[in-house]
């Protein structure tokens, strides 16, 4: 019996969809369907009933499910046991989103090097979905990404970076340090967003206004957005880490907007289940230190 067929069966049941399971497994939908058909031939029974777009386990499928879950769990435990017995690799391959790569990784890599002086470190920067694929294909070992749900990964909250409005020195809002969303409805806005759900919350806040915000510049890079604000081209909502140095220098001023309080960019640390636990523990310890 093919373990990949059992894996497809468990994932389809978990997500309730062939298409969703295919996305999570980074496979095509026909491949997932073929795996289920192969498993059904081996078991000589139908596992799913398909009613339009809805799928349901058959009675035989329900009977087989706990055994399939146990087989998959036992396989993963056995695989982890074999890998844990292997000698520690001399290279740790880390993935990270652009913001983490720019503002956190220099510090994290220096500390990791002190704790694991025998290790070499390789950093890959990319979007969350791409890094998740690289972990699945074992091209990288762990990654700092936006929050995602995937039963193949162990995922831990690592860092929350508050999103605040930043203005240039001498801007009228700089002295007050706080404002309402209505106070900025006529301001020239630079809008930076990185494809995260956190940014959708900023958009929703603006929906309360009777007219759309004056977004003149829309960029996908925090450094570009920040330099536009420094050049007095507009004001911008930014994650705190990317503006930390400029705030310390006094060239950027944070302004608290009541309606956006509590919105932050959430970074999670992920790895395949049962892998790299020693490195994960060290990194999570660093994450706790950053939060203080």
What is the rounded average pLDDT of the residues 42-67? 91
Distance in angstroms (rounded) separating the CA atoms of residues 265 and 160? 6
What is the rounded average pLDDT of the residues 132-156? 88
Q: How many other β-carbons are positioned within 10 Å of the β-carbon of residue 177?
A: 11
Distance in angstroms (rounded) separating the CA atoms of residues 289 and 250? 25
Q: Candidates 3.40.190.10, 1.10.10.10, 2.60.120.330, 1.10.287.610; correct CATH number of 3-85?
A: 1.10.10.10
Lowest model confidence (mean pLDDT) among 14-18, 92-96, 203-207: 203-207
Lowest model confidence (mean pLDDT) among 34-43, 151-160, 223-232: 151-160
Chain region(s) in the chain for CATH 1.10.10.10 = 3-85
CATH class of 91-158+266-291: alpha beta
Fold of 160-264: D-Maltodextrin-Binding Protein; domain 2 (3.40.190)
Please tell me which residue, 121 or 79, carries the higher pLDDT value: 121
Q: What is the pTM of this model?
A: 0.61
> What does pLDDT average to over the chain?
86
What is the rounded average pLDDT of the residues 135-158? 88
Nearest to 229 by CA among 249, 206, 253: 253
Residue 56 has pLDDT above 60, yes or no: yes
Residue 204, token pair as written in the block = 């929703």
The pLDDT > 70 percentage for the chain reads: 93
Chain region(s) in the chain for CATH 3.40.190.10 = 91-158+266-291, 160-264
Where does residue 80 rank: exposed (0-12), middle (13-18), buried (19+ CB within 10 A)? middle
Strands 91-96 and 54-57: unpaired
Distance in angstroms (rounded) separating the CA atoms of residues 98 and 242? 11
Residue 210 has pLDDT above 50, yes or no: yes
Distance in angstroms (rounded) separating the CA atoms of residues 191 and 193? 7
Range 188-198 burial, b when 16+ CB lie within 10 A, else e: bbbbbbbebeb
Residue 53, token pair as written in the block = 């777009």
What does each C-alpha distance from 5 to 50, 64, 152 come to in angstroms? 18, 13, 15
């Amino acid at each position: 019996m093919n373990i990949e067929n059992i894996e497809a069966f468990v994932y389809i049941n978990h997500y309730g969809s062939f298409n969703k399971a295919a996305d999570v497994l980074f496979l095509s939908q026909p491949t997932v369907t073929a795996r289920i058909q192969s498993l059904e031939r081996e078991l000589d029974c139908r596992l799913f009933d398909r009613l339009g777009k809805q799928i349901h386990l058959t009675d035989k499928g329900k009977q087989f499910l706990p055994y399939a879950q146990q087989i998959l769990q036992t396989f993963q435990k056995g695989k982890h046991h074999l890998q844990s017995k292997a000698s520690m690799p001399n290279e740790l391959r880390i993935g990270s989103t652009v913001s983490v790569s720019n503002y956190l990784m220099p510090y994290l890599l220096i500390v990791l090097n002190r704790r694991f002086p025998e290790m070499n470190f390789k950093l890959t920067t990319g979007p969350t979905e791409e890094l998740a694929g690289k972990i699945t294909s074992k091209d990288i070992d762990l990654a700092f990404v936006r929050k995602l749900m995937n039963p193949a990964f162990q995922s831990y909250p690592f860092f929350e970076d508050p999103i605040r409005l930043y203005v240039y020195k001498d801007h009228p809002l700089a002295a007050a340090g706080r404002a309402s969303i209505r106070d900025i409805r006529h301001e020239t806005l630079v809008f930076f967003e990185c494809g995260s759900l956190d940014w959708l919350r900023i958009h929703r806040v603006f929906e309360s206004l009777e007219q759309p915000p004056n977004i003149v510049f829309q960029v996908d890079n925090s450094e570009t957005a920040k330099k536009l604000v420094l050049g007095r081209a507009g004001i911008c909502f930014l994650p705190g880490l990317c503006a930390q140095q400029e705030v310390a220098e006094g060239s950027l001023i944070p302004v608290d907007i009541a309606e956006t309080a509590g919105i932050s960019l959430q970074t999670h640390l992920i790895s395949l289940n049962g892998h790299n636990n020693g490195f994960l523990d060290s990194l999570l310890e660093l994450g706790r230190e950053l939060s203080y």
